[in-house]
Amino acid sequence: MKAVRMSQALGVVLSLAFVSSVYAQSQSSTPTATVDSAASAKASQNSTRKADRKLGSDVRHALGKARDITATNIFVRARGGAVTLTGTVRDIAQIDRATEVAKSVPGVTSVVNKLSLEAQNY
């Protein structure tokens, strides 16, 4: 009886050792490809973010240099060349002018203007 139990236990242990080694061999090539594609996706995402930050900075700089625009309450968001302007300005002429200035920045493909007029405290 002890010999039967011992041989069964030995068979189970050997089977598990064989199955785990086969599983380890079949999975060896997949993680490398996954890691490489994940690294390239991460690098691409980082370069896109960097370009968006630079474009947003360039638009903010251009708005700040425009003499007829008060840019302190204008917020700029850039995503893939598309720029969104949000915030408030002091008069209605600045809304259209901000769009013109943003469109003149190299790299801007489109401008969405969500600017509104500041509330006047009388």
Could you give all domains of the chain from N- to C-terminal order, each with its CATH number? 2-117 (3.30.1340.30)
pLDDT at 119: 83
In the predicted model, what is the mean pLDDT of the chain?
A: 83
Q: Give the up-direction half-sphere exposure of residue 119: CA atoms within 13 A in the CB hemisphere.
A: 1
pTM of the full structure? 0.65
C-alpha 107/C-alpha 55 separation (Å) is 7
pLDDT at 42: 78
112 strand-pairing partners:
84
Strands of the sheet with 74-79, listed across from one edge: 74-79, 82-89, 110-117
Q: Which residues contact 84 (CB under 8 A, 6 or more apart)?
A: 76, 77, 78, 111, 112, 114
Question: What is the per-residue pLDDT across 33-89, written as a single tens digit (0 to 9) for each?
Answer: 566 677 777 778 888 999 999 999 999 999 999 999 999 999 999 999 999 999 999
pLDDT at 18: 62
